[in-house]
Structure 1
Amino acid sequence: MLDLTAAIPDDGLSSRATKDTPNNDQALLDAYSNAVIGVTERVGPAVVRVETGPKVRNTRERGGLGSGIVISPDGLVLTNSHVVGSSKEIRLRDIEGVVTDARVLGTDPDTDLALLRADGARDLRYASLGNSKTLRRGQLVVAIGNPLGFESTVTAGVVSALGRSIRSVSGRTIEDVIQTDAALNPGNSGGPLVSSSAEVIGINTAIINGAQGICFAVASNTAQFVLSEIIRHGYVRRAYIGVAGQTAPIPRRHAVVAGVANKMGALLAQIEPDGPAAQAGLLPGDVVIKLDGVEINGVDDLVRSLDRDRIDRTLDIDVLRLGRLRSVEIHPIERKPSARQS
C-alpha cells in the first residue's frame, strides 16, 4: 500500500493549528464570559426593580413593573417615563430584596425618561453614566433588568446600530437611540445597557413586537442632559410656538418658483390663538421650510429645532404660503410642563 503521508512535508503548522484552535476558542469564550461576569458583578447591585401602584393589589388601580438604575449613592434612579406613568405610589426593590419607597423628581415623556429618588436611602450601590458618543457598532453590551418579573436577569449582545430615531409616547421622536440585539422583554424597560467597562451607556426603552433581536435604548448622553435639566428645573425646558402640523411634500413648481431646495416641509394644520405662531402672522396651510437658519423637512425637524436654546429669542421663520416664500419673525416661549413634571 502506498503511504501518501510520507509525501507530505511536516512543517508542524497543521498539527499546531489543530492543537491550538480549541485552546484559542476556549480562551476567547472565557474572555467574553469574564467580561459579562465582571460587568454584572459591578453594575448588577445598582439595578432595582421599579414597582408602581398600590401595595394592596385588591384595589381597582393596576400596578406595573419595570427596572431602574441607581446613579448616585444618595438614591437618584433613572428609569423610563412609561414605567412610572401617572402612578403616585412607587417602590424600589434591590438585589437583596430590600424595598424602599421612591418619589418622582421629574419625567420627560419626549425621551421616555424619568428621574426618581429613593426615600431615606443613603450609600447605595450605584453605576456611572458613560459617554455614548464613544460607542461603535459591534461593541459588546450587557442589559440588566427584571424582564417578566424575573429578578436580576442578564443578557448580552452587541451594538447593532447607532443614531436611530424612534417615536416616544408623546409623539415626539427620540434622537440618537442605540439599537442592540441584547435580548429585552417587558420589565427590562428602564434598566441599563452597559458597556464592557461597566459604564451605563443607555437606558433600555423599547422592543419591536414580532421582531427578534431588535431592541432600543436611549443614549446615556441624552439621559445625562435630561438628568441635569430635571435636577435644575424639575422638567426639561423646550421652546414652543403653538402649532400642530404634519409632514407634507412641497410641489416642485412651488419649490422652483420660491427658489428653495426642500422636497418636504412642515404643513401647519392648526394655530393656537394668541400663541407665538399666531402673533407672528402664521396661518393654517403655511408650510415651514426653515427656522432660525435650519432647514425644516418635516414636523420632526420643526419639533427638534425647538430646543431650550431658542426660548425667548426672536427668530426668522420661512414658510411657503400659496406657493410663495414668506419670511417672518417669531418669538418662541418656554413650553409649559405637564402636571406630572410641575
Structure 2
Amino acid sequence: MLPSEAWVTGSASLQAHRRRRALASALLGAALLGGAAGCGDRAGSDPVAAPPPPIPGDLLDSERNTIEVFRKVSPSVVYVANTKVSRGSFLFQARETPQGAGSGFIWDEQGHIVTNYHVVHGGEKFAVSLPDGTTYDAALIGVEPRKDLAVLKIETEAALHPVQLADSHQLLVGQKVLAIGNPFGLDSTLTTGVISALGREIESIAGTRIEDVIQTDASINPGNSGGPLLDSHGRVIGITTAIFSTSGTSAGIGFAVPAATIARLVPQLIRFGRVKWAGLGVAVLPDHIAAQWGILGVIVRDVFPDSPAAKAGMRSMQVDQRGIPRGFDVITRVDDHPVSQLVDLIDVLDDFEPGDKVKVEFERDGEAHRAEVELGEASS
C-alpha cells in the first residue's frame, strides 16, 4: 500500500467557485478583440446553447478525439460544495462554514450524482452546480467510506446527461485517459495522460484498503476529487480519488477507484443508502495480539448465535476461570485467498455478497478445519 496518498478535496466555497468562473469569463471576454464583455455566472444566460464550433480539419486524430470526448462528457461533470451549519445561541443566526469542495458526475436522469465520500465528509448541506452555472441544493443519499464513494441527488426538470461506464477489467497500461473536474474551483478543466499502472492499493478515509486502483499521470489537483477518469470513448473508467504528493498538488501520480467498484456499489447506495457487505458473523481480536502470540491468521473472539460461522461449526473463544484463552479458532483462508491479518479477511469478503457460499479454512487447537459457509450481511 502506498504511504503518502493525499485526498484531493478542494477548500473553495461555492461563492469562491462562482468568482473564479466569473473571473475566467471576464478574462476570456477581454482577450477577444471586438467581443462582448465576460459572461460571468452563466446561470442567467440564454438557456438555448449555441452549437459547438466545427473541429478544424488540420488537427491530429488524437487531438480531435480529445476534443470530442470533452464535448461529449463535460456536460455530465458537476461541482460539489459541502458546508457545515454552525448553530449559535438564539441571538445569532446559524452560520454556514465551507467544509470542502470537489467534483462529481451525473449517474442517471433522476438526478443522482456520484462523488467521493471525502468530498462530502463532515458536511450538513450540499450544493451541486451544473456546467451551465445553475446550482441546486442536494440531498445526501448514501455513503461508503471503505471505498470512498458517495451519492447525492438533485431535483431538477432540466435534461441531465448521465455518464457511461467502461469495463475497467479490460484496461491496459499505456492507454490514453482524460480527467474532467474542478481543480481549485476552476470548472470543466480537462487534463490528459495515460494509465501508468493497474492494480494499485491505497488507503481509504476509513483506514481500509481500496484495491484494483488505477494509477495515472493525468494531472489531478485539489478539487478534482469525485470527477471522472475517462477512456478515449468518453466512458468512465474510474473516479479520481487521491494523489501521491508531498506538496498537496499534482506530482504526476494520481489514483482512481475503478469503474467495476462504482458499478457494483452505487446502485446499492441509491437503493439502500449504504452498501450491504457480506460477513461471517464473528468478532475477532486485533492483529497485534495475534502477532504477539505468534499466530498467522485472524483469531475469532466471538461467534454470534445463528450466524453463518455458527452454522458452519465455528466456536467462540474459550477461557478459563482466570480469563486466560484455552481454545479458539484462527481463520487462515477463504476460498483460495490466504488470510494472515484482518485486512485480508475484509478484502476477500468484499468480493462477495450476502448469500454467496465460500469455503473457510480455520485452525482449532492445532487441527485444520474446513467448512462451507453461506455468507450473511455484515453488521454496520
Which TM-score tier does this pair reach, normalised by the shorter chain? 0.7 to 0.9
Cα offset, 1:281, TM superposition = 1.2
Separation in structure 1 between the aligned mates of residue 358 and residue 77 of structure 2, nearest angstrom:
44
Alignment counterpart, residue 100 of structure 1, candidates 133, 136, 146? 136
Q: Single out whichever of 177-186 and 73-82 deviates more from structure 2.
A: 73-82
State the partner residue of 2:191. 155
Q: Flag the 1:127–1:318 CA change in 2: closer, same or farther, 3 A.
A: closer
TM-score normalised according to structure 1 size: 0.75
Q: Flag the 1:28–1:187 CA change in 2: closer, same or farther, 3 A.
A: same
Separation in structure 2 between the aligned mates of residue 144 and residue 137 of structure 1, nearest angstrom:
20
Q: Which amino acid aligns with 1:334?
A: E
Alignment counterpart, residue 299 of structure 2, candidates 261, 264, 268? 268
Q: Which amino acid aligns with 2:254?
A: C
| 1:229 equivalenced with 2:268 (yes/no) | yes
Cα offset, 1:245, TM superposition = 4.8
Cα offset, 1:275, TM superposition = 8.9
Separation in structure 2 between the aligned mates of residue 62 and residue 146 of structure 1, nearest angstrom:
16
Cα offset, 1:105, TM superposition = 1.9
Matched-pair contact (CA < 8 Å) for 1:103–1:119: no
Q: Flag the 1:54–1:288 CA change in 2: closer, same or farther, 3 A.
A: closer
Q: Flag the 1:119–1:266 CA change in 2: closer, same or farther, 3 A.
A: farther
Q: Which amino acid aligns with 1:215?
A: G
Q: Flag the 1:186–1:296 CA change in 2: closer, same or farther, 3 A.
A: same
Matched-pair contact (CA < 8 Å) for 1:266–1:302: no
State the partner residue of 2:162. 126
Matched-pair contact (CA < 8 Å) for 2:290–2:299: no
Q: Flag the 1:32–1:335 CA change in 2: closer, same or farther, 3 A.
A: same
State the partner residue of 2:283. 243
Separation in structure 1 between the aligned mates of residue 168 and residue 359 of structure 2, nearest angstrom:
33
Matched-pair contact (CA < 8 Å) for 2:298–2:339: no
Q: Flag the 1:60–1:123 CA change in 2: closer, same or farther, 3 A.
A: closer
Matched-pair contact (CA < 8 Å) for 1:248–1:267: no
Cα offset, 1:139, TM superposition = 0.8
Matched-pair contact (CA < 8 Å) for 1:67–1:190: yes
| 1:51 equivalenced with 2:87 (yes/no) | no
State the partner residue of 1:84. 120
* Runs of 5+ consecutive residues of structure 2 not aligned to the other structure: 1-56, 87-92, 318-324
Q: Please, what is the CA RMSD of the aligned residues?
A: 3.4
Cα offset, 1:218, TM superposition = 0.8
Q: Single out whichever of 182-191 and 169-178 deviates more from structure 2.
A: 169-178
| 1:281 equivalenced with 2:315 (yes/no) | yes
Matched-pair contact (CA < 8 Å) for 2:200–2:213: yes
Q: Flag the 1:328–1:281 CA change in 2: closer, same or farther, 3 A.
A: farther
Matches within 5 A, 1:104-253: 104-210=140-246, 212-240=251-279, 241-245=281-285
Deviations 1:2-37 (A, max 9, x none): xxxxxxxxxxxxxxxxxxxxxxxxx99833322222
SS for the counterpart of 2:63 is helix
State the partner residue of 1:334. 377
Percent identity between matched residues is 34
SS for the counterpart of 1:144 is strand
TM-score normalised according to structure 2 size: 0.68
Cα offset, 1:197, TM superposition = 0.7
Larger radius of gyration: 1
SS for the counterpart of 2:222 is coil
SS for the counterpart of 1:52 is strand
SS for the counterpart of 2:147 is coil
Q: Flag the 1:153–1:205 CA change in 2: closer, same or farther, 3 A.
A: same
Separation in structure 2 between the aligned mates of residue 288 and residue 314 of structure 1, nearest angstrom:
16
Q: Flag the 1:157–1:245 CA change in 2: closer, same or farther, 3 A.
A: farther
Q: Which amino acid aligns with 1:222?
A: T
Cα offset, 1:266, TM superposition = 2.9
Matched-pair contact (CA < 8 Å) for 2:309–2:373: no
Cα offset, 1:118, TM superposition = 1.2
Alignment counterpart, residue 347 of structure 2, candidates 304, 311, 319? 304
Separation in structure 2 between the aligned mates of residue 244 and residue 89 of structure 1, nearest angstrom:
37
